[in-house]
Amino acid sequence: MSENIHSTSKVSDLLAQGPAVPYLAVDQSPPLEGEALLLGAKNATLVIMTSLILTKGVSILRNIPANDDVIHMIQLLEKLGAKIAFDPNTNVLEVDTRALEDYHVPLEMMKMMRASVLVMGPLLARFGKAEIAFPGGDVIGARPVDYHLINFQKMGVVIEQHGQVVHGHTQHVKARNLLLEYPSVGATENLMMFATRTPGTTRIINAALEPEVFDLIAVLKKMGARIQVDAPATITITGVEELKPVEHTVIFDRMEAAALLVAGAITGGYIHLPQGPAHSMGMLLMKFQEMGHTILIHPSGTGIKIKATKTPTAISIKTAPYPGFATDMQAYMMAALTLAQGMSRVQETVFENRLMHAKELSKMGAQIDVVHDTALIRGVEQLYGTHVIASDIRASCALVLAGLVAEGRTTISGVYHWKRGYQGLEGKLRALGANITLYE
């Protein structure tokens, strides 16, 4: 895309000619105040959609966000032969997998979205064969799929690689104890889906335990899978012959919730998320409190209010697998910390190149030094609107959040990333008082 090559002045020239280049414009906004509703979690939705390959019949999923990643996954499942109806107004998705017959995912579909790799386990379980392309690296890191492939091999899948194409077929499939070197979300999900139909008992040890993984487990259990989770981080799956279609409402998106709470925090406002999944956002909420913000949690564990302080203080965060500080919330929080009094420290340990927004925030007047995996942020009094470039889904949102408090206008290109991750978040922010417009 053009985003990497335009200098600031060239982009302003282009923007002056009209929205030939899609962009977000954010003007300095008053403290955001009010109530907002959430949609379902993108990352739970994507994997749950692939899990339907394990079934033959019509499944109904509710609370499905109509973002571009979900649209791409619909196209991918349709390419494999699924019949799909999706209403982006009611967020209900109906998937009929009876006629699914293809097990090849073309390169261009893999390149659109790395989550496409999550079809591999279900395709191997259904057809004994899967052909995908290597998703390759992306801007936030190399993101290999070696944990997926090595462990499929341990379970009796023969993997052949021809250039960018990865072909897998089952041979003497056997349940095994699989020890993950790192609790990879995608590897845990892919292997678990394959194991639901593998005879015997598979154990995934050092498994990822993200809330989105648990939502997938809930769906697989509704299908009839036998799955148990025990300490230490072990998922035990006993294979069954057949899985049946499901109806399921996807969990609320903790990343969308985090974005809205940071919008309240950074503008010194007040936000209420009646559906806010506080039970799965503990680390973020604790960090807000450390900064001086007041957090109120509904006793049920669902429902969050933030009353922001006008004088937040610096804190340290270090990203980690759940229940540590989520890497997907790191960019949002960095935006908030640019204005916190003192020196904050943000260490990114999950992806090796996920601090690119630091450079863009610096263009807005933030004082940030990046050393290896750590950003040192000296709080400033004021940010200033300018043109910035979004490098990934979460960075696009972090720049919007910074734009809310920057003097003047912030324009953000790389809107493609924003649209991949969120449905109508700009409208929700606007309803809370934000001056934000998406030009397409």
The residue (of 319 and 386) whose beta carbon lies closer to ligand EPU is 319
Using an 8 Å Cβ cutoff, are 36 and 13 in contact?
A: no
As measured in angstroms, the least distance from the Cβ of 144 to ligand EPU is 4
CB atoms within 10 A of CB 177: 12
CB nearer to ligand EPU: pick between 115 and 251: 115
Contacts with ligand EPU, residue ranges (CB under 6 A): 42-43, 46, 114-115, 141-148, 182, 184-187, 208, 210, 327-328, 350-351, 393-394
Instruction: Output 208 or 390, the one with its CB closest to ligand EPU.
Output: 208
Kindly tell me which of 72 and 221 has the beta carbon lying closer to ligand EPU: 72
CB-nearer residue toward ligand EPU: 51 or 267: 51
Total H helices, total E strands in the chain: 15, 23
What kind and span of H or E run contains 361?
Answer: helix 357-363
Using CA atoms, how far residue 260 sits from 136, 200, 325, 342, in Å, is 31, 44, 17, 24
| Separation CA 361–CA 368 (nearest Å) | 8
102 in Cβ contact with 75 (< 8 Å): no
Q: Which is nearer to ligand EPU, 131 or 392 (CB)?
A: 392
Calpha distance 133→345 (Å, rounded)? 38
Q: Which of 314, 318, 284, 331 is nearest to 380 (CA)?
A: 314
Between the alpha carbon of residue 407 and those of residues 84, 142, 341, 383, the distances in Å are 45, 36, 18, 6
Q: Which is nearer to ligand EPU, 293 or 422 (CB)?
A: 422
Q: From the CB of 212, what's the least distance to ligand EPU, in Å?
A: 6
Which two three-digit tokens encode residue 268?
């010194």
Residue 396 Cβ vs ligand EPU, minimum distance, rounded to whole Å? 10
Cα distance between residue 103 and residue 97, in whole Å: 13
CB of 296 to ligand EPU, least distance (A): 27
Smallest gap from residue 145 Cβ to ligand EPU (A): 5
- Minimum CB separation of residue 186 from ligand EPU in Å reads 3
Residue nearest ligand EPU, CB atom distance: 186
Do 36 and 432 contact (CB within 8 A), yes or no?
yes
To ligand EPU, the closest distance from the beta carbon of 300 in angstroms equals 25
